[in-house]
Structure 1
């Protein structure tokens, strides 16, 4: 193998090693996408933008969040920046003011909750169900299931999902609302 070929092989190996590291980082933090999406649903951001009828600023979004006793626009900006990168929302700079304006995308239209929003069905209830701590806790038990067998939900909560739902009306509603749209 020539010197040139050896250098190319080392460069390829270095690239593949760094690509592998980037993949692990990406997978490790992909839960943040789901949590940001969940917060957008909980804050009703898609509905706020939809009601406005045109692109909307962070200040306008914040004003639409009715139950925010001490709002943090910096936190909202971070969430929106992540969701724009993931194409849940889109953004552009307003001419003149330089404000960033946000609008719905085909993806965020699936997160509308309000009736009459033009969305015949919504994935918002499923987003809330799948990202609730009750539903995410079993994922922390997968290695235990491999070692011992059994069901992750039961390992996390001590009972199977259907018993949990029958004993917990809040979870039962969450589960039924989420499953109605799946």
Structure 2
């Protein structure tokens, strides 16, 4: 009852304020709402509502993906009316009246663009057209493959395993020992690590690997189109932890002179099989552990690897990278594609970085890399005491012999490596 009373009081205040403004437009205190204490409180309340009800944003986005809303709009030429959507979507007849509420939110969030329909005479009608935006075009997966699709990646982020794990954040922070103080909130929620669930739950594993393929296709399209100079002097490349070879295949297809291979664990490589007949951009798959050995190559590619591991393990990986390219003077290089916290040029990119960082804290023991600029503009972990784990990462590179050959990437929001700087 207290909650309902507060809500009623807030609504009443808004109604009284609106009524008073209508009756007395000359009252300064009522017209300058941006500076009144009441307006500030309402603004603060609205912000809290947006934050706390914000969990519905990914749920609405996931719902749109599962229903196929971006695909249907694309099939209608990039814009569709509510009636067209109702006719094409797998929505129960009794729920069709609710679809407009979902569409209104998606439009408000900028995922779609809402436009009032007009009659042939130019007069506005009561219904709306919903257009794809740059955001929702990344969710269309039924075209000829000419553009990247991130539907699988986005749907996986909102998976129940992830959501349930995030609900354990406060409990995880409070515990400092014993069985309840698991290494990550994910372990606290599910009793095993993220990779443990991947091994035991076939559907979760399938969705996870599908999301990684979608992300790799997206990144690969940027890399091969905007970073061509990086591969000009490379004849061989090994993609460490490259999964099913999506990234390596894209590189091999774009740069036929580069002999590409993928290093991954036996259980991952064993599930890949042989490339299909006539498939372009084929690669060699090698079973192995990156902590122990990385095959020699002109270039070692590490995409989204460091975020899964702590500092000491990252040092071990970097030492293996150093060994892998040590015989490839002077062209040996390591290409690191990862999120670099603190490198964002816009607020939206900074928020994306920090949300990804928190997501990784929930799922795995690793962390995103902090921004520091090494030789040739390469981002390295740094600005740390000489005995810190971050400093250990730098020393593993041996800046005099190795760091200058790390290819950093500076995308608009700090993820990936665009353009790669050598």
Shared fold, TM over 0.5: yes
Q: Please list the CA deviations of residues 120-161 of structure 1 after superposition, one character each: whole Å capped at 9, or x if unmatched.
A: 211211111011211111010001110124311111111111
Aligned to 2:45: 21
Residues 78 and 132, structure 2, Cα contact 8 Å, conserved in 1: no
Aligned to 2:111: 88
1:172 aligns with 2:205: yes
Residues 44 and 113, structure 1, Cα contact 8 Å, conserved in 2: no
Calculate the TM-score normalised by the size of structure 2: 0.38
Q: Give aligned pairs, total.
A: 171
Greater per-residue helix proportion: 1
| Aligned residue runs from structure 1 range 114-153, under 5 A | 114-116=142-144, 118=146, 120-148=147-175, 149=181, 150-153=183-186
| Counterpart Cα distance in 2 of 1:145 and 1:181 | 31
1:106 aligns with 2:116: no
1:163 aligns with 2:199: no
Runs of 4+ in 1 over 6 A off after TM superposition: none
1:63 aligns with 2:87: yes
Deviation at 1:101, TM superposition (A): 1.0
CA 139–54 in structure 1, closer or farther in 2 if over 3 Å, else same: closer
Q: Secondary structure at the match of 1:111?
A: coil
Residues 165 and 172, structure 1, Cα contact 8 Å, conserved in 2: yes
Structure 2 residue ranges without an equivalent (≥5): 1-34, 120-124, 176-180, 216-422
Calculate the TM-score normalised by the size of structure 1: 0.85
Deviation at 1:35, TM superposition (A): 0.9
Q: Secondary structure at the match of 2:167?
A: helix
162-171 or 172-181, which deviates more? 172-181
| Aligned residue runs from structure 1 range 35-54, under 5 A | 35-54=59-78
Deviation at 1:20, TM superposition (A): 2.5
| Counterpart Cα distance in 1 of 2:167 and 2:86 | 34
Deviation at 1:27, TM superposition (A): 0.3
| Counterpart Cα distance in 2 of 1:147 and 1:80 | 39
Structure 1 residue ranges without an equivalent (≥5): 1-10
CA 36–117 in structure 1, closer or farther in 2 if over 3 Å, else same: farther
| Counterpart Cα distance in 1 of 2:78 and 2:41 | 45
Greater per-residue strand proportion: 2
Identify the structure with bigger relative contact order (alpha carbons < 8 Å, sequence gap 6+). Answer: 1
Q: Secondary structure at the match of 2:134?
A: coil
